[in-house]
């Protein structure tokens, strides 16, 4: 069953806060991981691996660079879980 976007966003907020120390309250769908949230490329890998484990999806290496915003990541994970 596909995950709901709201659940994925809530989970992602927790992961980004844990990995990169960014307060969950500042994490919104239209924020860019690198430009707005200052998540560097290596922290992004940690976020992706944590998201894979939490949501039970696969996010291939060549997809990671496509996930520019939090919304991109939510959409990808929701689709991958369907």
The values of phi and psi at residue 33, to 5°, are -60, -45
40 is annotated as an active-site residue? yes
- Smallest distance, other proteins to C-beta of residue 1, A: 27
Mask for 27-66, x = binds other proteins (CB under 8 A): -------------xxx-xxx-xx-----------x--xx-
Alpha helices, H only, 1-82: 5-20, 41-55, 61-64, 70-80
CA distance 15 to 12: 5
Number of residues counted as binding other proteins (CB under 8 A): 11
Binding site for other proteins (CB under 8 A): 40-42, 44-46, 48-49, 61, 64-65
């Amino acid at each position: 069953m596909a995950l709901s976007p709201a659940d994925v966003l809530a989970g992602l907020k927790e992961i980004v806060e844990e990995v990169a120390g960014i307060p969950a309250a500042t994490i919104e769908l239209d924020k860019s991981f690198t430009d707005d949230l200052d998540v560097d490329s290596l922290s992004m890998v940690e976020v992706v691996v944590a998201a894979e484990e939490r949501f039970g999806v696969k996010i291939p290496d060549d997809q990671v660079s496509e996930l520019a915003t939090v919304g991109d990541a939510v959409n990808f994970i929701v689709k991958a879980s369907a």
